[in-house]
Structure 1
Amino acid sequence: MKEFLVVDGYNIIFAWPEFENFKESGLEHARYKLVSILANYSHFSGQKVFVVFDAHQVKNSVERTETVDSVEVIFTQQGETADAYIESLVGRLSDEGVIYVATSDWAEQGIIFGRGAYRLTPGELREQVDRARKESQAHYNKALPSESYLENRLLDQVRSKLERWRREKK
């Protein structure tokens, strides 16, 4: 069964401490960093990730969607909140699999529960992302079985000499 993660982008940016310094210098870098973090998470978790950013107060903005490293990034149109878009998206995805929505907005959580989705608080999402990062590092840092063979740890000159001895016995 497919799993989807729908993230209220600015809600997470303003909740996670690692974005504290980005808020004053502009949100573009924070958006990029969040999408990058979630792309790594998506690759490890297997979830299809959507990140929704409000643009409802931006004059003449139109809805825009782009895919960045397997994460679907959505900017809402003028007059549409991320919450409204997320509610609609959850409704469209509800028959396709399990949906998790990451937000701290209580009103939003009530609506997504009613549509059959599960909620993740920003802290819970952070824990899942951290756990996935640690598991992936442990997975990729494992030594290959062949790396533990004695012959692979010998100096080249020692290996050559042993090989010569082996061939002389035949």
Structure 2
Amino acid sequence: MSRKINHYLIIDGYNIINAWEELKNLARTDLEHAREKLINDVIEYAEFTGKKAIVVFDAYNVKGFREKIEQRKYITVVYTKEHQTADSYIEKYITSLSKYDDVKVATNDYAEQQIVLGKGASRISSRELKLDLDHARNKMREQNSSSTKKIQRNWLEERLDKETLSKLENIRRMR
């Protein structure tokens, strides 16, 4: 009996935002926009790769905040409850998965990376995540451009001999 292996990418959202210069600069003026940019990049990646992606943002210091889980196109976005870190949510989530699942956690937090490894998942740094997302985006562009190149016009005049074309042209003009 073979098991279906699920592929997961779990992302410590604020850790990645603070690690990527573009998002960190954006977050200084508009944190919501930085979150949405990260989420949209991950949606695009998950759609292309087929991985189940979970982006976790912690609401550790938000008074009275209750856990909120949003199902978005191809991904899940989690906002943890008050007093819960993204790290603790990720650790608990990994524990709930099958030991046969392929689980990668994107974070630059060294302590979290060690815990993730101890739970049987693998870790990728924010830099590796950026490279993976960029690589997937480039592959999508290649596929899109090659599929548009394959669409060629199929003109009748390119397939008929000159005599037949001439006869058809004469018929057209007689109308």
Checking the alignment, whether the CA contact within 8 Å between 1:8 and 1:52 is kept in structure 2 is yes
TM-score by length of 2: 0.84
- The alignment yields a C-alpha RMSD, in angstroms, of 2.5
- Name 1:165's counterpart in structure 2: 164
- 1:50 equivalent in alignment to 2:49: no
Unaligned runs of 5+ in 1: none
- 1:16 equivalent in alignment to 2:15: no
Deviation at 1:146, TM superposition (A): 4.7
Runs of 4+ deviating beyond 2 Å: 143-146, 158-164, 166-169
1:14-163 paired onto structure 2 within 5 Å: 14-95=18-99, 97-142=101-146, 143-147=148-152, 151-152=154-155
Q: Count how many residue pairs are aligned between Structure 1 and Structure 2.
A: 163
Once the two structures are superposed, residues 12-53 of structure 1 have per-residue CA deviations (whole angstroms, 9 ceiling, x without a partner) of: 001012213312213111111100000000011110000000
TM-score by length of 1: 0.87
Checking the alignment, whether the CA contact within 8 Å between 1:101 and 1:119 is kept in structure 2 is yes
Unaligned runs of 5+ in 2: 169-175
> Take 1:54 and 1:146, find their aligned partners in 2: how far apart are those partners?
47
Percent identity among equivalent residues? 36
User: Structure 1 residues 168 and 45, CA, compared in 2 at 3 Å: closer, same or farther?
Assistant: same
User: Structure 1 residues 84 and 141, CA, compared in 2 at 3 Å: closer, same or farther?
Assistant: same
Once the two structures are superposed, residues 36-74 of structure 1 have per-residue CA deviations (whole angstroms, 9 ceiling, x without a partner) of: 000000011110000000101000000000012221000
Checking the alignment, whether the CA contact within 8 Å between 2:27 and 2:33 is kept in structure 1 is no
Which one has the largest radius of gyration? 2
